[in-house]
Amino acid sequence: MPDRVSVYVRVAPRDESRRHRAICKVINTDSILLSSNPKRQTTFIRSSFENKEEKIFKFDKCFDEGFGKINSQSEFYKGSINHFVKDALNGYNCCILAYGQTGSGKTYTMMGESKNDTRGVIPRFCEDLFHEIESIKIKDSSDLSQRSEYKVVCSIFEIYNEQIIDLLEMNEVQSCSKYRVRENRDRSMYIENITEIEVSNIDQMIKCVKMGFRNRTTRSTNMNVNSSRSHAIVSITIKRTDIDLNTNSSIISDSICRFVDLAGSERSTATQNCHNDRLKEGNSINKSLSTLRRVLTSLKKREELKYNSNSNSSAHNIVVPFRESLLTWILKDNLGGNSKTCIIACISPTNFEESASTLRYADIAQTIKTNSIINTYSNTTLLDNLQKQLRIMEIEVNKLQKDQNSSLELQYILNNLKLENKFLEKNFINRANLSSEMRKLLIDSEIKKFQLMKVILAIEIKLKDPKKIDAKLIGRLEQLKLNDAKLYNNFVLNKDKFEATVDIYK
């Protein structure tokens, strides 16, 4: 079912945002007037400098009125994200991205603080997820015909300088190169070798998420990295199996929920990036965020073409640069693919340009369509797929056996050739006793022996790896056959077998 990327706007409190930006040494602050109107779902932004324009954006929901009321974490969660719990349990992939400049409240919104009422979207989602699972289990317990089983797996990583850092890996010294982004058969993305922890209740889940974010802070301190310079991704995989106890058949649904706390979106010129490492950091953040913006722009263009020209072919000519950064490659399916996606546009009332830029990109994002489907299959489909795979493997095994047979046939031919060679050698040694006519014959056979040795040598080499047998060798054997059919027939006692072997490799 086509969905649209939804956008929720959140405004950080003026003082907090300014204090955080001061700590992060962000310069170029600007004084702006910014307010959201939750009734109309609009956000108004205007620089207090007279020459800057006024802008009004309309989104799915606008929270926090800027100068007025600040929405609590609970109000924000209930008004935006909590419906994703049911979606995820029903088998839909979901993705929640927090986008905005440094100090605009991305981490506060996603993770929140340790105080109970200030916890963010991720811990609240995890709590709701297990509450929902528990309530389904209680409902099931009175139903004798059905039972549901759940498996929840969590992985947490960050992308820093275009490398993946596993935040659940106990060993602090990590080889980043072992983490590879791979594509599943259904074209969804996964990270090879990433630590995955199975959790079975709220406590385990929250501990896992907290450990990931604690590692993010510890590692960033050890590496002298500000956490806002990396993108943190929490990935929760949910597998639900509904078993019909009467028929013993089951329906399985799989979904992945990704929570992405993006690095600060300000341009590197806006921060005091003079140090080499900082410059590298800045460049890679710029690269991934600018790729993200280009991906959003290309997807929007694609949508417009589809809508205006009513032709899919011109829309498909638009190349979306997913592969140009790790971030967009991992999120490929979430941006315009099989996912229910939302962007939380975090803005801070201290910088006109950056806030306007965040709102502009959120505006582009909300035009993008996704195609979320319930990722479900029955155990009979699973069986069908496994049987299909089995058949493919059987064909492979047969082929391999055939190769092995061919190699046995070649071995047989080789032995015959060796025998013939011995015969020729014997004649060669006794040639002094031969008549001139016989000698001529032997010179011929000497040439043939030489040819034969070459063929034997080639076959011996190829026997080590029969697959590598090439047209040249077959050509040589064929030539031998043409030059002297009698000799050839002597070499090969079982002619048919030999030809069959040659045919296989033709």
Ligand X SMILES: Nc1ncnc2c1ncn2[C@@H]1O[C@H](COP(=O)(O)OP(=O)(O)OP(=O)(O)O)[C@@H](O)[C@H]1O
Query: How far is 17 from 109, CA to CA, in rounded Å?
Result: 13
> Cβ closer to ligand X: 264 or 336?
264
Taking the complex as a whole, the smallest distance from the CB of residue 49 to ligand X amounts, in Å, to 24
CB of 12 to ligand X, least distance (A): 4
Which uninterrupted H or E stretch holds 436? helix 436-464
Using alpha carbons, select from 295, 360, 368 the residue that is nearest to residue 100: 360
Closer residue to ligand X (CB): 108 or 259 = 108
Distance of CA 439 to the CA centre of its chain: 73
17 near ligand X (CB under 6 A): yes
Could you say whether residue 102 binds ligand X (CB under 6 A)?
yes
| Under rule CB under 6 A, residue 100 binds ligand X | yes
What's the distance, CA 31 to chain centroid?
A: 41
Is 16 among the residues that bind ligand X (CB under 6 A)?
yes
> Is residue 104 part of an annotated ligand binding site?
yes
Among 7, 9, 24, 356, binds ligand X (CB under 6 A): 24
Give the tokens for residue 103: 């100090």
Tokens of 484: 């002297």
337 annotated to bind ligand: no
355 belongs to the binding site for ligand X (CB under 6 A): no
Q: Does 108 bind ligand X (CB under 6 A)?
A: yes
Size (the chain), residues? 506
Comparison of 106 and 300: residue with beta carbon closer to ligand X? 106
Cβ contacts of 394 within 8 Å, gap of 6 or more: none
Question: Which is nearer to ligand X, 100 or 123 (by Cβ)?
Answer: 100
Q: Cβ of 125: how many Cβ atoms within 10 Å?
A: 24
Q: Which of residues 105, 123, 336, 337 is near ligand X by CB under 6 A? A: 105
Q: Using the rule CB under 6 A, give the single segment among 78-86, 101-109, 304-312, 412-420 that binds ligand X.
A: 101-109
Residue (103 or 336) nearer to ligand X, CB: 103
Site for ligand X in 164-193 (CB under 6 A): none
Q: Kindly state the smallest distance separating residue 376's Cβ from ligand X, in Å.
A: 36
Residue with tokens 């949910």: 238
CB 271 within 8 A of CB 27: yes
Piece of the chain touching ligand X by CB under 6 A; list 11-19, 192-200, 322-330, 389-397: 11-19
Q: Which of 32, 233, 346, 359 binds ligand X (CB under 6 A)?
A: 346
Q: How far is CA 333 from CA 231, 293, 336, 374, 431, in A?
A: 17, 16, 6, 14, 79
Q: Can you tell me the distance from the alpha carbon of 123 to that of 119, in angstroms, rounded to the nearest whole number? A: 7
| From 43, 220, 228, 358, residue interacting with ligand X (rule: CB under 6 A) | 228
Identify the three-state secondary structure at position 81. Answer: coil
| Largest interatomic CA distance in the chain | 120
By the rule CB under 6 A, 292 interacts with ligand X: no
Give the CA dihedral 181, 185, 186, 192, nearest 10 degrees.
-20
Q: Does 107 bind ligand X (CB under 6 A)?
A: yes
109 is known to lie in a ligand binding site: no
Q: Which residues contact 256 (CB under 8 A, 6 or more apart)?
A: 93, 94, 188, 235, 236, 237, 238
Residues 67-86: x/- map of binding to ligand X (CB under 6 A)?
A: ---x----------------
468 assigned binding-site residue: no
Beta strand 340-347 with 6-11 is: parallel
Residue 77 or residue 498: which is nearer to ligand X going by CB?
77
Q: Binding residue for ligand X (CB under 6 A) from 104, 230, 341, 370?
A: 104
Which contiguous run of DSSP H or E holds residue 43? strand 42-47
Q: How many of the chain's residues bind ligand X (CB under 6 A)?
A: 19
Asked if residue 106 binds ligand X (CB under 6 A), the reply is yes
**CA–CA separation, 222 and 57 (whole Å):** 41
| The only residue of 66, 91, 103, 466 in contact with ligand X, by rule CB under 6 A | 103
Among 264, 336, 349, 466, binds ligand X (CB under 6 A): 264
Neighbours of 316 (CB within 10 A): 11
Q: Is 475 annotated as a binding residue?
A: no
Footprint on this chain of ligand X (rule: CB under 6 A): 12-13, 16-17, 20, 24, 70, 100, 102-108, 227-228, 264, 346
Q: Could you tell me which residues are annotated as the binding site? A: 100-107
Residues annotated in a binding site for ATP: 100-107
